[in-house]
Structure 1
Amino acid sequence: MLQRRLRLLEAVSLNTSTMVGIGPFITIPLLVASMNGPQAMAGWVLGAAVALADGLVWCELAAAFPGSGGTYHFYDSAYGDGRAGRLLKFLFVWQFFFSGPLEIASGAVGLAKYLGYFSPALLGTAWSWGDFLPGLPGRVAWGQVAAVGVMGLATLLAYRRIEMAGRLMVVLWVGMLATVGWVIATGLLNFDASRAFDFPPDAWSPTGANALGLGAALAIAMYDYLGYYQVCYLGDEVAEPARTIPRSILISVVLVSLVYLTMNVSILGVVPCREVVKSDHAATDMMLRVHGSAAAGLVSAMIVWTAMASVFASLLAYSRVPYASAKAGHFFRAFAATHPRGDFPHRSLILIGGITMAACLFELETIIAALLSSRILIQFVGQIVTVFLLHARPDAKARLPFRMPFYPIPAVIALLGWLFVFGTTDRLVLAYGVGSLLAGLVAFAIWDRTAGRGDAPP
């Protein structure tokens, strides 16, 4: 049986470690390129507003329905085993296998890219997919192979009791704070405002291209913000969940929003915008410019540590999703088991770790785009709609121990933000998101007809 031993410090460290991770260190060039200038920082500000608004949605649901599994548990508690409930729970688990491991893999692949600073051979090609199937595009770098090994190590570290994993999470979190703090301090102490705010002439013109660019910038920002809700996946292991979870979410969003904006502006104040766009290691390049190669090497190592914290936190949280769905009867029963001596879902952990290892063999840009497009509708939009429905019930006050201020404004902001990201996505990636959802609907129809009951394993 799972034990409630995670407190506020562990919850905040889990959320913030997932949010920071490798994301901002590898996406700064992509963010600036999305709008061709430092005005792309507007994406961070808009992303912070959407993340805070959406965080309040998670706060309401987590306080009302504290338990493991995150969104799956919310849908199970809110809709039960009626047809709508079975559909939403099935589709969440379905999309989870399209997006969850991809999110963890993005951290592992990004970590391997920074390892490439020490060993350039990791940037070389291990094999091309066309070697196995002629005409198939894409290649696998040695760094991606290294990322598979990173995931093996993370799985091994997570294979232990939750209180031990929680203490390890705090240790990794402290390393993350030191890394981000050093990068920010270096940037601010060598800050040049004219360089940081070197806007092009058409920076703020209301053109269609700028709107699409802002959508791309917001998507990148939201990818980097992902994780403010991570503790919700371990709800059965949180002490005083109705109080601890909302506090940890709001603290995490505010803290990381300030960190991101400060860090990105400080880097742009040292490294010219045009150089940032072309860089694979913006933070390393800044340290190299200011302090030399020794500092650049050290910060690269610290970023690798930070990325490992993110990978570990994500794996720890997401491994509880198959466990929660299996425990409720909506996934294979074998994954509802916990370790006989450690009280953690060991089979579910191995499953997610294995899928993530396979996902590491895809290119980073593909991983990021695919994970967002496949989860926006069924998870984020679905949760917002659920909050609207809960507020419409006569017993809303009793059902919602935490209520967002100024309802429904935050929920509407979150809804519009996620729909804007989805609507401005590249067509091919959009097709992946819609296609995976349609495939899930077909799979549900088959499963629902053959299983006959919501409590039978698919």
Structure 2
Amino acid sequence: MSQEQLTRRITLLQATAINTTDMVGIGPFVVLSEVAATMHGPWFLYAWLAGALLSFMDAMIWSELGATFPAAGGSYNFLKAGFGEKGGKLMSFLFTWQTLIMAPLVIASAAIGFSQYVQFLLPLTSFTQKLVSGGVVITIIILLYRKIETIGKISVALWIGVLGTMAWIIGSGVVHGHFLEPVRHINDGLQVNAAFATALGFASVKTVYSYLGYYNVCHLGGEIQKPEINIPRSMFISITVIAVLYLCMNISVASVLPLAQIEKSKFVVSEFTEKLSGHTAAAIVTVLILWVAFASVFSATLGYSRVPYAAAKDGAFFRIFARLHPTKHFPYVSLLFLGALAFIFSLTFKLEEVITAIIAMRILVQFIAQGIGLLLLGKRKGRSFFKWHMPFYPVPIIVAIIIWAGIFYSTGVKFMIAGLTAIALGLVVYFFKNFVQRQQAQRASTL
């Protein structure tokens, strides 16, 4: 696929910033209480460790593919290469089709979470809450409507705010003096049985959502400097930093607030700060959390806007998505389409539904299929074909596929059916599109 119109301007620092700002969105602040309530015990920290483990395993898959195929679109290119000529066209189309639905859900989830946390500062009605979430999406589209080098600088600025916010939250718990208490009591009353495994599965749906985004740099592969080096490095740096921050934040909150309050709170980090430093400090932290949520929407929208563009540029998706802005050189049609759909979703759905739908929809076509595609590609091309090599191949791939399958099951029957329905609709569109193209080719040949 030709990438001449995209320029490699994003550095390792900027790539890491884009990944981490996508990862640390509103997710950890709104699901912290849900994870604690699901696990219902001090061992809820294990769900965050499980999310980190899966992220590391899966990042090895992304690293091999991202370093070898550094082009706009990420998984579109990976699935196309992994499943070969015929299967690759189908799988890459299904991923692009899914992105048209899933990406706006990701953007909407951060916008809805943003509006939810605003309520700690301002009382909002159901209507005004929707106005806030919709306004966030519109603002993001306006900010992204510009050249990529400018966007890279904006990402670093937002990233600094993300790290500063996390540092304040964690530092408050450390200064409090009981920071390690939750770790000392992590196994109190723990029974490793079927009930624990089930709870861990349900809780991990939420923690995995909070880690998603470590691969965002792969969607921007055509704009990354030294991609064979910087794509893997940015992912592993991002996951390491975020895993440490998430664990420390959870430990910090649990060292101050009782578990019963954590499980019921809608603004757990704000309440944590309020207990330690008063309402003014809590209000400031809430504003910083909103900064983090905004930064996440920015990074996610940036990455996903490149997927339909890449597929259309390759002739495998609807041509209109291949259009680049005539002077700013970014896929503006793709950006505007995803933004418009995200705006509608932000006015329509509840946060918990969106989070679970995001996980269920993307596991089969993207994560599991991508791992299988890497195995197939390695068998055809040999290990020397890849520009980055995971340790202990193929163990990380197998482990990741097994865990992803368990996460998919844990989303529940309703969302599993929704995910499968989206795939089925994609298959219908794919075969109908091919039928129309064959009919057009036959008519053209008779003229």
- Rounded Cα–Cα distance in structure 2 between residues aligned with 1:195 and 1:46: 17
1:107 aligns with 2:110: yes
Shift of 1:45: 0.8
Q: 1:368 to 1:417 in 2, by over 3 A?
A: same
Which deviates further from its counterpart, 187-196 or 409-418? 187-196
- Rounded Cα–Cα distance in structure 2 between residues aligned with 1:194 and 1:262: 12
1:392 pairs, out of 379, 399, 402, with: 379
1:295 pairs, out of 281, 290, 293, with: 281
Shift of 1:191: 4.5
Shift of 1:249: 0.8
- Rounded Cα–Cα distance in structure 2 between residues aligned with 1:66 and 1:180: 31
- Tell me what 2:65 maps to: 61
Alignment of structure 1 residues 282-361 onto 2, 5 Å: 282-361=268-347
1:23 aligns with 2:35: no
- Rounded Cα–Cα distance in structure 2 between residues aligned with 1:21 and 1:194: 27
- Tell me what 1:119 maps to: 122
Instruction: Tell me the secondary structure at the aligned position of residue 403 of structure 1.
Output: coil
2:11 pairs, out of 7, 14, 18, with: 7
Shift of 1:77: 3.5
Q: Is the 8 A contact 1:98 1:371 kept in 2?
A: no
Shift of 1:445: 2.6
1:48 aligns with 2:35: no
1:428 aligns with 2:414: yes
Q: Is the 8 A contact 1:179 1:302 kept in 2?
A: yes
Shift of 1:387: 1.2
Alignment of structure 1 residues 7-406 onto 2, 5 Å: 7-79=11-83, 82-120=85-123, 122=124, 124-126=125-127, 142-192=128-178, 193-194=180-181, 202-207=189-194, 209-361=195-347, 362-393=349-380, 395-406=381-392
Q: 1:452 to 1:268 in 2, by over 3 A?
A: farther
- Rounded Cα–Cα distance in structure 2 between residues aligned with 1:200 and 1:3: 51
Q: 1:101 to 1:374 in 2, by over 3 A?
A: same
Shift of 1:261: 0.8
Moved over 4 A (4+): 193-202
Amino acid at match of 1:444: Y
Q: Is the 8 A contact 2:67 2:387 kept in 1?
A: yes
- Tell me what 1:407 maps to: 393
- Rounded Cα–Cα distance in structure 1 between residues aligned with 2:120 and 2:17: 27
Q: 1:144 to 1:196 in 2, by over 3 A?
A: farther
Shift of 1:89: 1.3
Amino acid at match of 1:67: A
TM-score (norm 2): 0.94
Q: 1:332 to 1:446 in 2, by over 3 A?
A: closer
Amino acid at match of 1:69: G
Question: Would you tell me which structure has more helix in proportion to its own residues?
Answer: 2
- Rounded Cα–Cα distance in structure 2 between residues aligned with 1:311 and 1:212: 31
Shift of 1:347: 1.4
Shift of 1:279: 0.6
Deviations along 1:269-326, one digit per CA (max 9) or x if unpaired, are: 1111110111111110010000001100000000111111101000111111111111
- Rounded Cα–Cα distance in structure 1 between residues aligned with 2:334 and 2:181: 51
Shift of 1:46: 1.3
Shift of 1:199: 6.2
- Tell me what 1:134 maps to: none
Shift of 1:198: 5.6
* Structure 2: gaps spanning 5 or more residues: 442-447
CA RMSD of aligned residues (A): 1.7
- Rounded Cα–Cα distance in structure 2 between residues aligned with 1:271 and 1:367: 28
- Rounded Cα–Cα distance in structure 2 between residues aligned with 1:229 and 1:201: 36
Instruction: Tell me the secondary structure at the aligned position of residue 5 of structure 1.
Output: coil
- Rounded Cα–Cα distance in structure 2 between residues aligned with 1:201 and 1:360: 40
Shift of 1:409: 1.3
- Rounded Cα–Cα distance in structure 2 between residues aligned with 1:421 and 1:316: 26
Amino acid at match of 1:230: N
Shift of 1:204: 2.2
- Rounded Cα–Cα distance in structure 1 between residues aligned with 2:175 and 2:276: 10
Q: 1:62 to 1:201 in 2, by over 3 A?
A: closer
Amino acid at match of 2:200: L
Shift of 1:331: 2.0
Shift of 1:83: 2.4
- Rounded Cα–Cα distance in structure 2 between residues aligned with 1:199 and 1:396: 44
Q: Is the 8 A contact 2:65 2:78 kept in 1?
A: yes
Identity of aligned residues (%): 38
- Tell me what 1:132 maps to: none
How many matched pairs?
434
Deviations along 1:123-169, one digit per CA (max 9) or x if unpaired, are: x222xxxxxxxxxxxxxxx2122111111000000000000000001
Amino acid at match of 1:375: R
Shift of 1:446: 2.3
Amino acid at match of 2:58: D
Q: Is the 8 A contact 1:195 1:272 kept in 2?
A: no
Shift of 1:440: 2.1
Shift of 1:63: 0.9
Deviations along 1:194-229, one digit per CA (max 9) or x if unpaired, are: 56666697532403x322211011111110000000
- Tell me what 1:135 maps to: none
Amino acid at match of 1:424: S
- Tell me what 1:129 maps to: none
- Rounded Cα–Cα distance in structure 2 between residues aligned with 1:60 and 1:195: 37
- Rounded Cα–Cα distance in structure 1 between residues aligned with 2:426 and 2:336: 24
Amino acid at match of 1:370: A
Shift of 1:444: 2.4
